[in-house]
Amino acid sequence: MVQKIYVTYNQVHKLCQNSAERILDDFKPQLMVAIGGGGYVPARILRSFLKRPGSPNIPIQAIGLSLYESLGSDAVEQPGTKVTRTQWLDLSSLEMANLIGKDILIVDEVDDTRTTLEYAVKELEKDVIEAQKKLGREGEKTRFSIFVLHNKDKAKKGQLPEDVVQGRYLAAQTVGDEWICYPWEATDIDEHDRLSKEQEQK
Residue 106 makes CB contacts below 8 A (sequence gap 6+) with 32, 33, 35, 39, 117, 120, 121, 124, 144, 145, 146, 147
**Cβ(147)–Cβ(23) below 8 Å:** yes
The secondary structure of 16-54 as a DSSP string is HHHHHHHIIIII--SEEEEEETTTHHHHHHHHHHHPPTT
Beta pairing class for 60-69 and 169-175: unpaired
Residue 179 makes CB contacts below 8 A (sequence gap 6+) with 2, 3, 4, 5, 76
Q: Using CA atoms, how far apart are residues 139 and 112, in angstroms rounded to an integer?
A: 34
Judge whether 163 counts as a catalytic residue: no
Catalytic pick among 25, 26, 112, 153: 112
The secondary structure of 124-138 as a DSSP string is HHHHHHHHHHHHT-T
Q: Which residues are catalytic, by number?
A: 112
